[in-house]
Amino acid sequence: MAFTSASFIVLTIASVLLYYIVPKKAQWCILLLASAAFYMAGSVKAFAWVILVSGMTWVTGLILGRYNAIKPADKAQKAQIQHKKKQIAIICAVCCFGLLYAMKYWNFTLELLPSALGNHIPRWDFVVPLGLSFFIFQSMSYVIDVYRGKYAPERNPLRYGLFVSFFPQMVQGPISRFDQLAPQLTAERKLCWDDLQIGIQLALWGYFKKIVIADRAAVLVNNVIMENCPYGGAVIALGILFYCIQLYCDFSGGIDITRGVARMFGIDMTLNFRRPLFSTSLTDYWRRWHITLGAWMRDYVFYPLAFSKPFGKLGKWARKHFKGMMGKICATSTATFIVYLIIGIWHGANFRYIAFGLWNGILITASLLMERRFLSWKEKLHINDKSTGWRIFMTVRTFGLVFIGRYFTRAPRLKTVFTLLGTTVLHPHFSEFTSVVPTLGLGISDFIIIFVGILIVHGVEFFEERGTDVQAWLNERPALMQLTVLTVSLVVLLLFGIFRAGYISSEFIYKQF
C-alpha cells in the first residue's frame, strides 16, 4: 500500500476517526489493526516475517529480562549471568540478521561463486518483506537495549508487535527506539486539534515534495541514467543533479508524511532528516541525512567496535608504530570506516553500493586523519571559518562530494558508474545539451515547477536553519491565513501533482533498502 495511494489515505482517515471514537484503553488496538491492514494489503505472506521477527525478539527480550532481574551473589555468578545473556543476544542477532542476509544478499552471494558451485546451491526465492531492514534494526535495538539493562522488557506481545510494525514508519523509517516510541503508541489520548492540524500540514508538505517535485524529476532521471546511456557528460550530470533533487524530496517528503500521519494520533516520531544540504562536511551531511540509521550504527556498531578489546589492542599498536594523529585515531578511524562500509552494503546487494560505502568511508576517514593539517592550512591562510563565504564554500564542496556519490546509488551497476563518471568528465558534449534536454520527458512548465518547488523547499529550510520554526510561525497566524495556505497547498498538490497529464506515482526510493 503506497503512501501516495487512495487506499492509504482512506486507511489513515478511518484509523484516525476510530482512534478517537473507541474507548481510550483500546486506542492502541486500532493502531495495531491499521498496521496489520497496511502490511497485509501488500503481502499476507510477507507479514508472516514481521510476526516471526517480532515474536523472536519479544521472547528474547523476556528471557534477557529474567536474567536482568537476578541479583548475583558474587562476581562469578555475575560473570556467568552476563555470559548467558550474551549468548542469548548473539543467537537472536544471528537469526535476525541471518534472515536479512538470506533475503537481501543470499542470491547475490551465489552469483559471486564459481558457476560449478553456485548453480548447485538453492536460491532464496521468497518475497522480500516491505521495510525488512527497518523492522529488523528496530527489533534488534530493543533486544540490545534490554540486554544492556536500559529498560525492562515489554510483556504484552501485541503491544510489542505494534512497536515493530507501526504502519507510518514501515516504508522508510525512522528506526525508532522502544523507550521513545512504545509509550506513545499505548498512551491514552483525547482529540487534540493541534495534533491534527500539525499532522495534516506535515503530510501535505511531504506530499508536495514527493508528488510535485520528486516524481516529476524522476521522469528525466529515468530517461537519462540507464545502461548504455547514449548522452554526453553534460546531460548525464543533469540527470544526476535531478536524481539528487528526486532523492532529497522523495526521502524527506516520505519522512514528513510519516511524521504527519503519526502526529494525527498524537505521536511524535523521531526526527530523521535535518536539512542536509546546509552541511559543511560529509560527516555533517550524514549526521543530518537518515539520522536514525546513523544513530543506530553509532550506538550498536561504532561504539561496540571502538571500545572492544581488539580495537583497544589496535590503538596501542598504532600509537607505538605511528607518530602524531595517525597513532591516536587509527582505531576509531578504522571503526568509522567499517560503519560507512556497512551502511553502503545496507543499501542493497550490488557492488555499486559497496563502492558507495567505500567512497564515503575513505573520504571521512581521510578527513579525520588530515584534520590537524587542514586546521594548520586555515590558520596560515588566515581563513575565518565563521564567515559566510567560507561556509558557502564548504557547503558547495560537500555537495560536490555527495553529487559524485550519487552516481553510485543511481547507476544500474558498478561498471556503469565508472562509465557515466568518465563520460561526464572526459566527454561533456555541451553542444547536444539544448537539443537533447527537451526530449527527456519534461516540458518547460515542468522545469519551472521543479525550480520553483526547490526554491520553496530550500527557502523554508533556510529559515529553519537560522532557528525559525516555520510551522509554529504559520500556526500563530490568523485562522483565515492558515486556511488560505491549506487550500492553496491542496490545489497545488492536485493541479501540479495528482491530476497533471501522464502522472504516475513512483515508489519511494528508500522502500527498496
Residue 255 has pLDDT above 90, yes or no: yes
Peptide linkage before 478 cis (omega within 30 of 0) = no
Q: Are residues 230 and 123 in the same domain?
A: no
* pLDDT at res. 176: 94
Q: How confident is the model at residue 501 (pLDDT cuts 50, 70, 90)?
A: low
Q: Are residues 375 and 445 in the same domain?
A: yes
* pLDDT at res. 20: 95
Q: What is the pLDDT of residues 404-442, one digit of tens each?
A: 999 999 999 999 999 999 999 999 988 898 899 999 989
Q: Are residues 398 and 312 in the same domain?
A: yes
- For 415, the domain range is 212-512
Q: How confident is the model at residue 358 (pLDDT cuts 50, 70, 90)?
A: very high
* pLDDT at res. 121: 79
Q: Are residues 166 and 25 in the same domain?
A: yes
- Asked if residue 332 belongs to a domain, the reply is yes
Which residues, 6+ apart, have CB-to-CB distance to 10 below 8 Å?
none
Residue 57 has pLDDT above 80, yes or no: yes
Mean pLDDT comparison of 250-254, 314-318, 320-324, highest-scoring range? 250-254
* pLDDT at res. 126: 73
Residue 18 has pLDDT above 70, yes or no: yes
* pLDDT at res. 510: 74
Q: Are residues 181 and 319 in the same domain?
A: no
- Asked if residue 42 belongs to a domain, the reply is yes
Q: How confident is the model at residue 265 (pLDDT cuts 50, 70, 90)?
A: very high
Helical H segments across 70-156, by residue range: 75-104, 106-112, 115-118, 132-147
- Nearest CA to 196 among 134, 264, 149? 264
Helix (H, G, I), strand (E, B) or coil at 28: helix
Q: Are residues 331 and 183 in the same domain?
A: no
Q: Are residues 184 and 216 in the same domain?
A: no
Amino acid symbol at 243? Y
Residue 323 has pLDDT above 80, yes or no: no
Q: Are residues 69 and 170 in the same domain?
A: yes
- Asked if residue 201 belongs to a domain, the reply is no
More confident residue, 369 or 309: 309
* pLDDT at res. 56: 96
In a 10 Å sphere around its CB, with 0-12 CB exposed, 13-18 middle and 19+ buried, how is residue 474 labelled?
A: middle
- Asked if residue 203 belongs to a domain, the reply is no
Q: How confident is the model at residue 132 (pLDDT cuts 50, 70, 90)?
A: confident
Residue 513 has pLDDT above 70, yes or no: no
Q: Are residues 349 and 448 in the same domain?
A: yes
pTM across the whole model: 0.91
Q: What is the pLDDT of residues 71-106, one digit of tens each?
A: 888 888 889 999 999 999 999 999 999 999 988 888
Q: What is the pLDDT of residues 167-179, one digit of tens each?
A: 999 888 899 999 9
Which residues, 6+ apart, have CB-to-CB distance to 86 below 8 Å?
147
- 434: its cell numbers: 539544448
Q: Label each residue of 331-354 as H, E or C.
A: HHHHHHHHHHHHHHHHCCCCHHHH
The residue behind cell 542493497 is 348
Q: Are residues 171 and 224 in the same domain?
A: no
- Asked if residue 197 belongs to a domain, the reply is no
Q: Are residues 178 and 218 in the same domain?
A: no
268 CB neighbour count, 10 Å cutoff: 13
* pLDDT at res. 252: 93
Q: What is the pLDDT of residues 451-463, one digit of tens each?
A: 999 999 999 999 9
* pLDDT at res. 503: 65
pLDDT, average across residues 13-17: 95
Please report how many Cα atoms fall inside a 13 Å half-sphere around the Cα of residue 392, on the Cβ side.
Answer: 3
- Asked if residue 199 belongs to a domain, the reply is no
Residue 1 has pLDDT above 80, yes or no: no
Helix (H, G, I), strand (E, B) or coil at 167: helix
Q: How confident is the model at residue 118 (pLDDT cuts 50, 70, 90)?
A: low
- Asked if residue 252 belongs to a domain, the reply is yes
- Asked if residue 204 belongs to a domain, the reply is no
- 271: its cell numbers: 526526527
More confident residue, 489 or 160: 160
- End position of a domain, from candidates 159, 191, 223: 191
* pLDDT at res. 505: 67
Q: Are residues 287 and 345 in the same domain?
A: yes
Q: How many domains does the chain have?
A: 2
Q: What is the pLDDT of residues 271-291, one digit of tens each?
A: 999 999 999 999 999 999 999
